[in-house]
Amino acid sequence: MPSYKTLYQKSVSLIVFAFTLLISKGLLAASLPDFTVLAAENGPSVVNISTSRKSAASPFEGMDIPKDNPFGDLFKHFFGDQFGKDHQGNGAPDEKAQSLGSGFIISSDGYILTNHHVIKGADEIIVRLHDKRSLIAKLIGSDSMTDVAVLKIDAKNLKPVKTGDASKLKVGEWVLAIGSPYGFDHSVTAGIVSAKGRSLPRDVYVPFIQTDVAINPGNSGGPLFNMDGEVIGVNSQIYTNTGGFMGLSFSIPIDVAMDVVAQIKQSGHVTRGWLGVYIQEISRELAESFGLDRPQGALVSQVIEDSPAEKYGIRAGDVILKFNGQSVTDSSHLPALVGRVEVGSQVKVEILRDKKTKVINVVIAALKAEEQAVITGSSAEKIYDRIGLQVSQTEDKQGVQIDDVAAESPAAMMGIRKGDVILMLNHKKVSSVSAYKEIVKALPVNKSIPVLIMRDGGRLFHVLKLKD
């Protein structure tokens, strides 16, 4: 039978363990952020947006939601009978389809910011406030290239959000979203900043904030807050294979959105800067061939005629390293930097040419509508040159045309095809067949050699490497 002393010691040990456990739980809880105040203070500034349009399309187009799913009645309650249409969208042609999204108040007199895709094609836009009032909104203007839209409702003394500085965001920082996913008003979700300056293929003018905040259909257009209660982003889209949240959410930086808002309110449309170049990403091999210590910058593959780039001396083969004082870490960053420059402004463009850096002053022009859509006998009987090509002079004497490519040759390995036109080889302009032959003779071995080709009207650099 244990002594009183032993029982006492065990009791003390248990008390100490329990006390330590309680303290550790308290410390753990204290280390996690408390979103309650932030959510309560900013909830009244977030609105639900519904639209109607004469369309048979479902607001869930692209989402694989079975017609007989167990939540069908719930979805119909929020989205109407159009949810029950089949996958072909069959239904009455005059039936009005509902589309749901979110938005937030940016001024006390009724201006609201949301996504362009939320209100696109709408015949009527209805804004539901935090106090359950529903008001018809007027579309002031929208911009598809940044996915930003500005609405106005006839109301006063509204509570606008506070806007922050998205450039001060840090990866790993806590952020919070408020919106109406699937029509559930004022749902609050939280997460962290996963990355900054993300470029998406169809959105070249937005350096997105990537987060792991749960964003679902209906959250689009809603605000993304930092822990100071400031809006630093507009929730815009997600990466998904299912139609639902998969941990990859993308938000438009608030400074980009508010710049669009200011232009829309002032002139009703958005004007962007234009440099006038086609660019491509720099691979490791291209970086080596241009004398870069690592892949960086934007490689100019073509300069558009009568553009600012042509006027001020930027050439194909230049690598843009800095634009307007900001480093171009990869090619996808350049369009957003150029687009935000005020038209008529003079900017410094730092380039790499012939393995030497140079600064060119360029006056930026306005991006025109037409430019907005464009942002790249038997072989044994033949004699090929050392890279495996047969060439001929082009009619316009701009480069040499590829008449044939030897199988398994260096040219074939790099992807050159019959019909391509070589415009530049190893940093030298190809003006004639004789000039091409002289350049080919002098090509180094075991080094990356840049080749600028024209194919189907577009221009692109490839990398050639000759073996011993």
Q: Which residues are catalytic?
A: 117, 147, 220
Residue type, 316: A
Q: What are φ and ψ of residue 325, in 5° steps?
A: 85, -5
Q: Residue 29 and residue 256: Cα distance in Å, rounded?
A: 36
The SS3 call for residue 260 is: helix
CB of 209 closer than 8 Å to CB of 166:
yes
Query: What letter would DSSP give residue 228?
Result: T
Query: What letter would DSSP give residue 18?
Result: H
Q: Residue 324 and residue 328: Cα distance in Å, rounded?
A: 10
Q: Residue 171 and residue 161: Cα distance in Å, rounded?
A: 23
CA angle 52, 54, 57 (to 5 degrees): 85
Q: Residue 146 and residue 340: Cα distance in Å, rounded?
A: 11
Q: Residue 61 and residue 447: Cα distance in Å, rounded?
A: 50
CB of 337 closer than 8 Å to CB of 326:
yes
Q: Outline where 35-189 has alpha helix (H).
A: 36-42, 72-79, 116-119
At 249, which helix (H) or strand (E)?
strand 249-253
Tokens representing 219?
């959250």
- Among 253, 193, 187, 257, which residue's Cα sits nearest to residue 216? 187
The SS3 call for residue 120 is: coil
CA dist 356 → 102, 124, 277, 286, 300 (Å): 50, 57, 20, 16, 15
CB of 170 closer than 8 Å to CB of 193:
yes
